[in-house]
Structure 1
């Protein structure tokens, strides 16, 4: 699977979905734990770690390679690997070439969790890094919460690895689940076979962008009010990583 993950990097399947994300989910279903990148343990590509005996329900692990972090070139990765090991962000700065491991790359490493084994408070490391550069860090919270980790890892790794959002923990097929958020995208369409109008909606919650399907009956009632940015609560069933909506509540803000 580590080889498949390496081959799949940057590629999409026929549905336009990220192949790496799909393979990661398959690994977890097979009992293989996916680990985020680590500044001292990661290599250039995905690294398999076999267990002699199952641990916590897992039969092995695969660790993210540094080259899988968004925006990382082979030259950047080679320079980082050359200087391993590191005991701090400052040591990374001192031991690497700033033309290859620049400000953006260091911020990406911190956000992706590569320094978690040294200090798991990613926001603290970000604040210290910017402070040492005499840059403003006031907008970065002192503590790192679950939402920050999800946001950082999706931005740089394609999906959240260290923690799971509420949506990701819900089993496929579960009914009567509800989420509150804002309408990010509204995409009405006509079904080819029936000629009936339905709508695909992306709901932005605090943790996720949930793909929702609103079928004709609910859509016709909701359509006159649907505006991007409005706050709503959707209730329905999780199916194939989508929320099939059967109840809609509009919130006034």
Structure 2
């Protein structure tokens, strides 16, 4: 699709593609000088245009979100407004890496129910003008203390890499083959190096299977098409 084509073109020109960020991303891709582009929030599965519009408008009006608690408080609708941030969209933003600079994905997901409780509490506080319906000692805010990620090079776990693939349609921060790159150097042909000269020749390629398509030919025989991806591109065979 259009996003995959754009990302492939960026890589060809040595432009680094960054995952979405709650304080830097807009609707679509954003140029980050000197040589990077950042994913837009609309590209995240389960995150609609209305959610993104409210996030961007709030950020423009009152500055960057300083913490998860700050985000949930400011995103809680006023009494006359309808809530647009639901469990699915919040979970998807977390899994896609949009909050990585404010804490770890796994820690946020482990506390997801507390995050949602805090969001509901913030909405009630706005509605009724009360300090806390829970009381000072029981407020969910007491449980919303997370360690910020100061390293941009933190190694992601395999399930976190898969979350990006699931929600963004591609691997961004890392790739499942990265840790096996040393095994792909000898007689393995990279997908980007497959060309006309290699047609009808036996070659060895290695990659991650993205998709398997099964169908029956006109002659009644079963056939498979497999989409394979390595660190340099994709191929269907």
TM-score, with length taken from structure 2? 0.59
Higher relative contact order (CA 8 A, sep 6+): 2
| Alignment match, 1:163 | 174
1:127-142 alignment, distance < 5 Å: 127-133=110-116
Q: Indicate the SS of the match to 1:77.
A: helix
- Aligned counterpart for 1:91 among listed residues 70, 85, 100: 70
Instruction: Rate the CA distance shift 1:100–1:200 in 2: closer, same or farther, 3 A.
Output: same
Unaligned ranges ≥5, structure 2: 78-82, 118-154, 185-189, 195-202
1:42-61 alignment, distance < 5 Å: 42-51=25-34, 60-61=35-36
> Is the Cα contact below 8 Å between 1:80 and 1:101 reproduced in 2?
no
**CA-CA distance at 1:116 after TM superposition:** 0.9
CA distance in structure 2 between the aligned counterparts of 1:65 and 1:23, rounded to whole angstroms: 12
CA distance in structure 2 between the aligned counterparts of 1:201 and 1:122, rounded to whole angstroms: 34
1:60-139 alignment, distance < 5 Å: 60-84=35-59, 85-97=64-76, 99-119=83-103, 121-133=104-116
Give a deviation string over 1:189-243, Cα, whole Å, max 9, x none.
47xxxx9x783244xxxxxxx449xxxxxxxxxxxxxxxxxxxxxxxx9997337
Q: Indicate the SS of the match to 2:106.
A: helix
> Is the Cα contact below 8 Å between 1:146 and 1:163 reproduced in 2?
no
Give a deviation string over 1:160-192, Cα, whole Å, max 9, x none.
1111222897622474345798x95433547xx
Pick the structure with more strand per residue.
Answer: 1
Pick the structure with more helix per residue.
Answer: 2
CA distance in structure 1 between the aligned counterparts of 2:33 and 2:208, rounded to whole angstroms: 41
| Alignment match, 2:13 | 30
2:224 is equivalent to residue 200 of structure 1:
yes
Give a deviation string over 1:78-136, Cα, whole Å, max 9, x none.
211233311222221111145122222111110110011122x31111111224557xx
> Is the Cα contact below 8 Å between 2:96 and 2:167 reproduced in 1?
yes
| Alignment match, 2:125 | none
TM-score, with length taken from structure 1? 0.56
| Alignment match, 1:21 | 4
CA distance in structure 1 between the aligned counterparts of 2:19 and 2:89, rounded to whole angstroms: 16
CA distance in structure 2 between the aligned counterparts of 1:23 and 1:164, rounded to whole angstroms: 18
Q: Indicate the SS of the match to 1:117.
A: helix
RMSD: 3.8
Q: Indicate the SS of the match to 2:91.
A: helix
> Is the Cα contact below 8 Å between 2:47 and 2:92 reproduced in 1?
no
